[in-house]
Amino acid sequence: MCDTCGIGPAFTGSGISIFGKNSDRESDETQLVLSIPAKDHAAGESLQCTYINIPQVGKTFALVISKPFWLWGAEMGVNEKGVVIGNEALFTRVKPEKTQGLIGMDLLRLALERSADAEEAARIIINLLKQYGQAGPCGYRDKKFTYMNSFLIMDRKIIIKLETAGRDYALQRTSDYAVISNGITIAKDWQASSQAAGTDFSKLSDPLTTYFAGSAFRRNRIQSAILSIKDGIGATDVFDMLRSHFDQTPAKGFNRDVCMHASDPLIRKSQTTGSLVVELHPDDRFRLFVTGGSAPCLTAFKPFFPAAPFPDLGVGNGGYSDQSFWWRHEAYHINAILRYETVRSLVEKDILDEEAKWTTNLPAHTWDSAEPRLTEISHGAFRDSDNREKIMIDRMRKIKKTSSFLSSLFWTRTAQRSKVPLV
């Protein structure tokens, strides 16, 4: 389960465009934030994606991606040209092909590497889909978990929704805003499609699985927030959207939390394991913010510079490591979720204060900006987050656990499996 939004200049009221996404994955599935440089490739070179090899192109653009550690593709990202993409799992009547192909995360990364604008990115995904299809396990531990994909693709001028089922697609363009979750949103109102004129693309949806995924509730929540603050939307507003809950105590109401919390091995298996917000400013300038870990309601969005990434964000695999920012945060997150209401009330003000400081004082910058002052702001934000969370873990030794029996059992087993220290 995931949620993605794109907001154009007419709705921000500031001349900038903003992208936001929560990536919801399995409960201890490490998500890395990587800055990958542009590269020239030799003629005839091949590229190993998650499951298949395809021909490489002559040049790939620089990009920042947030990706599960075990696969080649990415859940979300932005390239040096100002193309931003997030994908969502779609549950459809169309089943994956038996022969492995590309998965949605591969298609996303390939489009970022190869496109100079949103229209080109959409064409690249459509052409790759037609040539290779989408097939292969998409889950980390659950290798039976497969799905189709929707994509929100944007640049400084346009936002594109591209929804797919098998090798078919439907596409809509807008310049105002768009929101996608885990359900098909395009019916007969597509502007381009692989299907015949007048075809209702939404008829391909699997309605039961889509309902239990909670996508309509989450999409409506973000859409309502966007419409309520039209003409004045900033990054902190998108942070708030991405950390919103259906209920004050998370993990209730099936899968209706935008800030998703896992709590059991059946219905609530997913959690938000990474979050990204991108501001696209005029004059080819950017501001990027990432959490670097799970549960945006328990941590701040921190500034990230493509030319000077905080190195520990790119470290981590299938088990706890104190060298990995994601896993250090995950130790805090798991211990906090066992005492959620108390811990959130203790950290909420500090999180909002820090974010207000960074969004107020951090200038928009070019992709290759690596000024020492700005680098220190970014790296200092991650170090401060580390330190605050270590202090809070120590405080949690004296805070009573309040999670339900089932949730407590789920997270205790997850911690034991991943060797996360509990207090």
Active site residue ranges: 2
Nearby residues of 96 by Cβ (< 8 Å), 6 or more positions away: 134, 135, 136, 146, 148
Cα distances from 334 to residues 141, 266, 320, 340, in angstroms, run 19, 19, 12, 9
* Closest by CA position to 355, among listed 323, 331, 377: 377
Where do we find the tokens 């911690």?
A: 415
* Closest by CA position to 136, among listed 52, 67, 65, 72: 52
Beta-strand ranges (E) seen in 44-180 are 46-48, 53-55, 59-60, 63-68, 76-79, 84-90, 148-154, 159-165, 168-174, 177-180
How many other C-beta atoms lie within 10 A of the C-beta of residue 361? 9
For residues 184 and 204, give the distance between their C-alpha atoms in angstroms, rounded to a whole number: 8
Position 362: which residue type? L
Three-state DSSP state, 246: coil
Q: Are 293 and 315 in contact (CB under 8 A)?
A: no
* 322 class by beta-carbon count within 10 Å (0-12 exposed, 13-18 middle, 19+ buried): exposed
* Closest by CA position to 406, among listed 263, 194, 234: 263
Q: Are 155 and 167 in contact (CB under 8 A)?
A: no
68 beta partners: 31
Q: Are 234 and 199 in contact (CB under 8 A)?
A: no
For residues 48 and 372, give the distance between their C-alpha atoms in angstroms, rounded to a whole number: 36
What are 44's two structure tokens? Answer: 């005839």
Q: Are 36 and 61 in contact (CB under 8 A)?
A: no
Three-state DSSP state, 121: helix
